[in-house]
Amino acid sequence: MMKSEVALLYVLIIMSKGSAQSMKPRRSVFFSDVNLKLFKEPDFDGLSSVLVREDIGQLFIGARGKIITLSLDDITKKTKEINWIVTSKEKALCQMKGKSIEVCDNYITLMHTLKDGRILVCGTKAFDPTCTHLMFEEGNVTMEDSFVNGRGKVPFDPNENFASLVNGNTLYTAGSINFLGTVKSFKRHGRNSLMTEPIWSWLNGPNMISMNFAEISKHSYNKEDDSVFLFLTEIEYQSQRSDLRLSRVARVCKSDMGGLRILQRKWTSFLKAHLDCPFGDEGSTSLVQDVFFLQDEKNVSDSIFYATFNLNTKISNACSQSAVCAYKLSDIQQVLRGRFMTSTDSGHWVKHPGAMLNPYPSSCINDEMRAKGVRTSRNVPDSVLMFVKTHTLMEQIVTPITGKPLLLQAMAQFSRIVVDKVTSLDGQQHNVMFISNNSGWVQKAVWSGDDGLRIIEELQLFQDPQPIRFLQLSSRSGQLYSTTRTAVVQLSVRDCSHYTSCADCLIARDPYCGWDRRTGLCAAAAGASNLSMIQNLIDGDVGICPSSHLSKQIIDIHLTLDVAQFLPCSPDTNLPISWSFSGSILEPSPRHTLLSQGLILTPSFTDEGLYTCDTVEVVKGREHRKAVIWYRVKIGRRGGRYFSPHLHPYTLIIVSFGALGVIHIYKHLTQKSPNHVQSDHCGNDPGANRTTASRG
C-alpha cells in the first residue's frame, strides 16, 4: 500500500474517533421497521390541535376547516368528521384586510374538555376567532349550533404560537388578543376575568410555549392556593433587540381576584423568573420549546417540569444544538419567594434595594395571610399592589435539578416532549421520556438520579423528514400519538419486538419490557408477574436468562496479501464495536484500521485466523459483549484467489481505487443516519465554557 494511502487511513481514524459524541440512542429503528398505524387523507392538512379523550376512547384532531375523531385503539378507523368552514364572503373580507388565501380559512387551534364533558372548540375563522362546543352523546359527536366570539381566546393568525389550559370550566390563555398580533396577554376568562398589564415589564414581545396547572393546595401545610405556570420566551430587556431572547417561567394564583382599586381586573400574583438550561457557547441562550408537567401524587412540591430547548443560534456562531432540562416545582417556588428586580423608566432591570413589604408581594393566599385578614387579593394593601405593578421579575434564576441538561444533542432540533410514569415488576417507578424532533423522529429515554439518562431507542415515525407538531400519550392504553401538519401516527410504547433475545431484552433495561419465560419472547411487562417474566432494570444482569445454545455461523473469506479490504460489522444497535483476533482484543495498527462499522484489513500471512466483531455495552461497571459476526480469514498472494462473495461491496472499491475508496467508505459510515444521530461537532460539554445569560 502506498504511504499516502496509509497516511490517509490514519487521518480517517482521527476524524472518526476524535470528535466528541453526543449521547447516542442505544438502537435506531427506521420507518420500515416501526410497528405503527398511520392516518392520512388527501384533503387533510393544517393540523393545529389534538385532544385525547380516554373516557370515550376517541382522539380529536383539529385541522383546516374540519374536526375529525379517530378511535384511540386504532387511528385508521375514522369515527366522525365535522366540517367547520368559512363562507366565501368571510374569506374575501379576510383577504381584503391583507391576509393570504391560505390563512383566511378556519383552523381549529383550541380543544379542551370541560367539567360537564363537553369540548370547548375554537377556530381562527378567517381572522375572526370563534368558539363553540362539541358534545358526545350515545356514541356520536355533534357540534352545537350556537357560536361565541373567540377573540382573546385564540390568536387571529393560525401560525402564531399560544398556550392554553382548562381547569374545571375556567379557561386560561396566553397569546395575542388583537388582529395585528401586536398585543399579547396572559388571561383568565369567565365571570372574574383577569389579564396581564400591557406594559413591557410584564411581557416584552413574548412567544408563548406551554401552560400547566399545579394543585399546590393538595399537599400544602398552610393551604396555599393552586398555581398556573406559563412557560415562554421574551425579548431581553437590556438590549431591546428582537433576536436576543430569554426563556421564562411565570406564575399566577388560581384564586386571584385582582385588586380593589389598583390592578383592577389585572393579576396581582403575576411573577416571572429566568429559566436557565445551560449549554452552548459562551453568550448563547437556550430557548424553551415545550414543557411537560409530571405531577407527583404524594407530594406536589416534588413534581417535575420536563422541557425541551433549542439554542438561539441567531446571537452566536454556535452550531445547532438541543437539550432536555428538568425543574423541580419546589425550586421554582423558592425562586418566586426570593428577592425582586425593579423595572426602571429607561427600560432596564436593577436589583431592588429596599426592605420587603408585608404581605409578601404577589403571594398566593395561604393560612398565614388569612389569619392576618388577607383572605383574597382584594384585601392586599394598595402599597403592596403598587410594588407588584413594577416588580414582576425575580432576581434569582431557575436552574435545572441536575445543574445541567439531562440530554444534549448536536445537529438536532427538539420539539415536543411527553413523560410516562412506568411501574416495573419490582414495584419501582421510572420516568420514561418521549422526545420528538423536527425530522420526524422520536427518542425514548429514561432518567433517574442514580443512573443518569439513557436513550433506549429512537424511532422514525414519518418517512419524510418533517417537524413533529404534537405528541400526546395515553398512559392507560400505552399508546403514543404523534402528528405533523398532514398526518397522525399511533405507536405502542409497550412494543418490545425489537429485542430479539433474552440478553438484549434485559440489557436494554426498558421499563416497558421483560423476557417472558413461557413464550421465549421479549414482551410488555404491564400486568405480568415475576413468576412468568424476567426483568432487571438495575444492572441488566443476563445471568438470570435461560441458557441458550446459538451456533456460530463463521464466514470463510480469502484475502489478498498486502491489499486493503473491508470486513463489515453492522450490529442492530448503535453500540460501539470491538474486534478480536484469535481470542485477543485487536488494537489499531498499520494493518488494522478500526472503524465504527467495520475493519479495514491490510493482511500479512500472520493475519490468518478467526476475527470476531462484538458490540460492547457497560452497565453499572459490568461489561457485556455480544458477537455480531465471525470471519475466518485466509491469505493468498496476488494472482491467486482475491475476493470472497461474503465481503462488503466496498472492498472492491478499495482495491480498485485505493485512497478514494477509503474516503468513500468513511463518508458512507459517517452519513449513515442523517436525520437523527450525529457527531457533536460543537465539542461542548453540557454547561462547559458557558456563562449564564443576563438576568434582564
Specify the DSSP element, H or E, that contains 138.
none
Mean pLDDT for the chain overall: 87
Name the percent of the chain lying above pLDDT 90. 71
pLDDT of residue 17: 37
Judge whether residue 677 has pLDDT over 70: no
Alpha-carbon torsion (573, 575, 579, 583), positive or negative: negative
Give the span between the Cα atoms of 322 and 411, in whole angstroms. 8
User: What is the average per-residue pLDDT within 634-640?
Assistant: 73
Average pLDDT over residues 303-319: 81
Taking residues 447-458, what's their average pLDDT?
A: 86
What is the average per-residue pLDDT within 637-663? 46
Q: Cβ(590)–Cβ(556) under 8 Å?
A: no
| Mean of pLDDT values over 179-186 | 96
Average pLDDT over residues 448-475: 91
pLDDT of 641 higher than 50: no
Reported confidence tier of residue 412, pLDDT bands at 50, 70, 90: confident
| 338-347, 359-368, 584-593, 638-647: least confidently modelled range | 638-647
pLDDT at 440 over 50: yes
Distance between CA atoms of residues 580 and 613, nearest Å: 7
Tell me what pLDDT residue 316 has. Answer: 57
653 or 156, greater pLDDT:
156
Most confident option among 33-47, 614-628, 664-678: 33-47
pTM of the model: 0.88
Place of cell 408477574: 529
Residue 538 pLDDT > 90: no
Q: Is the peptide bond before 674 cis (omega within 30 degrees of 0)?
A: no
Residues 479 and 53: beta-carbon distance below 8 Å: no
Sign, CA torsion 261/264/269/270 = negative
Least confident range of 18-22, 310-314, 510-514: 18-22
Q: How buried is 409 (Cβ within 10 angstroms: 0-12 exposed, 13-18 middle, 19+ buried)? A: buried
Q: pLDDT at position 691, please?
A: 33
> Does the pLDDT of residue 353 top 90, yes or no?
no
Q: Cα(122)–Cα(124) distance, rounded to whole angstroms?
A: 7
d(CA 576, CA 567): 16
Structure confidence by residue, pLDDT tens digits, 249-298? 999 999 999 999 999 999 999 999 999 999 988 778 899 999 999 999 88
Of 199 and 671, more confident: 199
CB atoms within 10 A of CB 279: 27
CA distance 423 to 261: 52
Output helix, strand, coil percentages for the chain, rounded to the nearest 5.
Answer: 15, 40, 50
The Cα 542–Cα 523 span in angstroms is: 16
Predicted pLDDT of residue 531: 86
Q: 540 pLDDT exceeds 60?
A: yes
pLDDT for 542:
86
Exposure letters 635-651 (e unless 16+ CB within 10 A, then b): beeeeeebebeebbebb
Taking only the tens place, the pLDDT of each residue in 189-226 is 999 999 999 999 999 999 999 999 999 998 888 999 99
- CA 447, 297, 363 angle in degrees (round to 5)? 100
pLDDT on residue 81: 96
- Report pLDDT digits (tens) over 469-528: 999 999 888 999 999 999 999 999 999 999 989 999 999 999 999 999 999 999 999 888
pLDDT tens sequence across 1-13: 333 333 333 333 3
**pLDDT value at residue 637:** 76
| Residue 95 scores a pLDDT above 70 | yes
Identify the residue with better confidence: 134 or 582: 134
SS3 state of residue 127? coil
pLDDT bucket at 550, cuts 50 / 70 / 90: low
Q: Which residues pair with 136 in a beta bridge?
A: 141
Give the Cα separation of 635 and 561 in Å (integer). 6
How is residue 11 written as a grid cell? 487521518
- Provide the pLDDT for residue 639: 52
**Per-residue pLDDT reduced to its tens digit, 40-84:** 999 899 999 999 999 999 999 999 999 999 999 999 999 999 999
pLDDT computed for residue 241 by the predictor: 57
Residue showing cell 429485542: 499
Going from the N-terminus, what domains does the chain have, and what CATH number goes with each? 3-15+556-659 (2.60.40.10), 502-544 (3.30.1680.10)
The stretch 140-162 carries a mean pLDDT of: 96
Query: Lowest-pLDDT range, 89-93, 322-326, 666-670?
Result: 666-670
